[in-house]
Amino acid sequence: MANAATPRVRRSLRELETFYLKGDRQPLENLMLAWKGIKELPPDHPNSFFNIGGLHGEPFRDKGATDGDYWGGWCNHNNILFPTWHRVYLLNLENALRSIPGCEDVTLPYWDETEHESTVSGIPWSLILDKVNVRGNIIDNPLKSYKFQKAINDDVSGDKSIYSKPAGTDTVRYPYSGLVGTPADKEKSDQHNAQWNYKEATDLLNYNVTGWLNKTITLPDIADRLKLGGVTILFHKCLDAPNYTVFSNISSSAQWNKDFPNAPVVVALETPHNDIHLAVGGFNVPGQDHDFSPIPGANGDMGENDTAGFDPIFYFHHCNIDRVFWVWQKKKGYQKNLTIIPGYPGTNSSDGGPSAGYGPNEPLTLDSPLKPFKKRDSDIYYTSNDVVDIENQCGYTYSVGSLDQISFMHGEELAEAPPTNKLRVSNINRGNIYGSFVITAYANVGGKDYYIGHHSVLSRWNVLGCENCRAHLQAEAFFNVDNLAQKNGDLSNFRIEITGREEAQPLLTAAVAENTINLEIL
């Protein structure tokens, strides 16, 4: 990528919506035409949405279809390449949008998930309207969903084809179910989805998303500075991460929280990222009353790693994740270079199950290839070091949005922060759980259970095939409990709830009931 004297600006999607409503319709209309264009390209075209969407998970490539060591897709999660791999992925998608005639100036906007309008109203209207007016023509909204031009098959042994998608299938979001891999699955999903009309389903989706964003802790005697809670709070907290290694991924932040037991919980960027996937894809808000929005059977595509990349909202969400990455870089002074802690958890390909193109237990560095993305007119793969400086290396920057103006603790302030206790939840084997799930913690105070936090695990329906794979797929979570741990040192005063897809519930319930999950106070 050549240096850009004046980087193009990625704006908030709501900025484009405001321009549109005030009469400057071209930015949003061109964006929609660009999306329409790449969705209509033949599936085997390198710039087609089918091809680009399939780079994340399904259709399975490399060894992921037959070897349980591999998760299946190209994307990197649970390791230090998570922010940079997705940065290049967005560039690939943005370049495809700009390749559509008449759309050469299009940039990918971000859904500013922590701005006031999102916390109050939910998802921007341009991502959820069924029909849109583009240059005087009423068309299907190209940002709402994707109709598969070609079937994708979930070929992993034991998956029962649950995430296969026949040609002609549309991606869906909460509260709908997208399980259509077998005739029985499709019949069940059709019955489930027939419960709501468009407006009802949209209202439920926004209600669920705002619930995730606004969740707060009401537990007594926890200082505001130490709280963990909803997605908005977690985005604020991840900006306190002291270095790139622990900021970048959950594997590294988990180890850091064990290494510094008396410090406040460090939150990785990947943590609120996972929450948004599950909020849009089909999980109820953790820790809410049971009448909040209990819709069993909601299985939207964003909640499953294998199909998330086919929902257009994925890219507006990840554009915001990349923006938060840049906000953290600016605040920490890391716009020109990043460093990692060699050998730390999260610096090995097997920490989350190797992605396509990587070998088991392969060391990961900032020079590791970000496969399958090659530099233009070259056979050389991008590396993380190629995309650190988005303005000079990548040719784009971001408009000012939420989180840009907030203060955050520097490393020395973190070190001097009052000590706190952490509750560690461990020994949760993802190999025994179908799909994504949420770990929620409660504390009993005065005979009443209080929500103290949650941790989302974005996963795939089947993650195991061998013991070696399971050995690298232990999920764990950390929660600030401060002096609550001293008052209630008995671990029986803490309760853990694990929530997953409907078919996963027996496994999850059994794991909790049999006390196979470890709890400890750090």
In the block, tokens 């849009």 appear at: 280
Rounded Cα distance between 311 and 144, Å, is 8
pLDDT, tens digit (0-9, with 9 covering 90-100), for 1-18: 444 579 999 999 999 999
Q: What is the pLDDT of residue 263?
A: 86
Q: Pairing between strand 8-10 and 396-398?
A: parallel
Low-confidence residues in the chain, pLDDT < 50:
1-3, 223-226, 290-292, 408-416, 465-471
Q: What is the DSSP string of 333-384?
A: T-SS-----TT-TTSBGGGS-PPTT--TT-B--TTSEEEEEE-TTSSPEEEG
pTM attached to this predicted model: 0.90
Rounded Cα distance between 53 and 92, Å, is 11
Question: What CA–CA distances, in Å, run from 271 to 26, 94, 112, 252, 384?
Answer: 35, 25, 16, 12, 20
Show Cβ contacts of residue 234 under 8 Å, excluding neighbours closer than 6 positions: 228, 267, 271, 272, 275
CB atoms within 10 A of CB 182: 13
Rounded Cα distance between 156 and 67, Å, is 9
Q: What letter represents residue 416's amino acid?
A: E
Q: Give me the phi and psi of 116, to 5 degrees please.
A: -60, -45
Name the β-bridge partners of 12: 110
Q: What is the DSSP string of 256-325?
A: HHHHSTTSPPP--THHHHHHHHHHHHT-PPTT--TTS---TT-B-GGGSTTTGGGSTHHHHHHHHHHHHH
Show Cβ contacts of residue 260 under 8 Å, excluding neighbours closer than 6 positions: 266
Rounded Cα distance between 239 and 328, Å, is 6
Name the CA radius of gyration of the chain, rounded: 22
Q: What is the DSSP string of 183-208?
A: HHHHHHHHHHHTT--HHHHHHHHHHH
Q: Where in the chain are the domains? A: 214-267+419-521
Rounded Cα distance between 444 and 256, Å, is 27
CB atoms within 10 A of CB 393: 17
Q: What letter represents residue 118's amino acid?
A: S
Q: What is the pLDDT of residue 356?
A: 85
| Cis, peptide link before residue 506, omega less than 30° from 0 | no
CB atoms within 10 A of CB 349: 23
Rounded Cα distance between 353 and 463, Å, is 8
* 92 alpha carbon, distance to own chain's centre: 18
pLDDT, tens digit (0-9, with 9 covering 90-100), for 203-222: 999 999 999 998 877 665 55
Angle at which helices 231-238 and 198-214 cross, to 10°: 50
Q: What is the pLDDT of residue 466?
A: 41
